[in-house]
A = this chain, B = another copy of it.
Amino acid sequence: MHKATIDVETRGRGLYDLTRDLSREIRHSGVSDGLALVFVRHTSASLVIQENADPQVQVDLLDFFERLVPENDPHYTHRSEGPDDMPAHIRTALTSSSEVIPVGDGRLALGTWQALYLFEHRRAPHRRRIDLRVMGE
C-alpha cells in the first residue's frame, strides 16, 4: 500500500491535469497490478476524467457547468462565502470527490484519450490537497 498527497495551487476555475503526478506516484509505489484511489479533500473542487486531445472540450465542459449551475441564482440561501461557493458545492456533487483507476503493468491504465483532472470550481486561487492510495501486488 502506497500513500501520498498531491498539492495543487489553482488559479481560478478550470481543469488541472493530475495525470503526470499520479503516474509518478504509481511508479514510486512499486505496484504492478491493482488500483489507484484519488480523493479531493475539499467540497468546492472535484475530479473528472475527460478527453486530453482538443482543449475546446474543456472550454465547453466549463461553460456547460456554468450554465447548468449558475452563479447568482436567487434560490441560493448559502451566500456567506461568496456567489461562487454554492455553485461550487453543487458542481462537486454532480461530478466526483473520488476516482478509482486501474493500475496495470506498473502504469496508470487510462485509455488513450483520457486524463484525470482536478476540477476547480472557485474563482480565487486555492491550495487543493489530493490524497492517494495505490494498492495491489
* A residues lining the B interface (CB < 8 Å): 1, 3, 33-35, 37, 39-43, 48-51, 54, 56-57, 59-61, 63-64, 67-69, 75-78, 80, 86, 89-90, 92-102, 104, 109-114, 129, 131-133, 135-137
B residues near A89, Cβ cutoff 8 Å: 50-51, 57, 60-61
Given the interface contacts A102-B131, A131-B102, does A75 sit within 8 Å of B63 by beta carbon?
Answer: yes
Q: With A41-B110, A60-B90, A94-B95 given, can you name 20 additional A-B contacts, CB distance below 8 Å?
A: A1-B33, A3-B33, A35-B37, A35-B135, A41-B112, A42-B111, A43-B50, A43-B113, A49-B92, A50-B92, A54-B78, A56-B77, A60-B76, A67-B75, A94-B94, A97-B114, A98-B101, A100-B100, A102-B132, A135-B135
Instruction: State how many copies of this chain the complex holds.
Output: 3
Give the CA-CA distance A64 to B3 in the complex, in Å.
36
Give the CA-CA distance A92 to B96 in the complex, in Å.
12
B residues near A49, Cβ cutoff 8 Å: 43, 92, 97
> Lowest 4 A-B CB distances belong to which pairs?
A41-B111, A56-B78, A49-B97, A43-B51
Give the CA-CA distance A59 to B79 in the complex, in Å.
12
Give the CA-CA distance A76 to B77 in the complex, in Å.
30
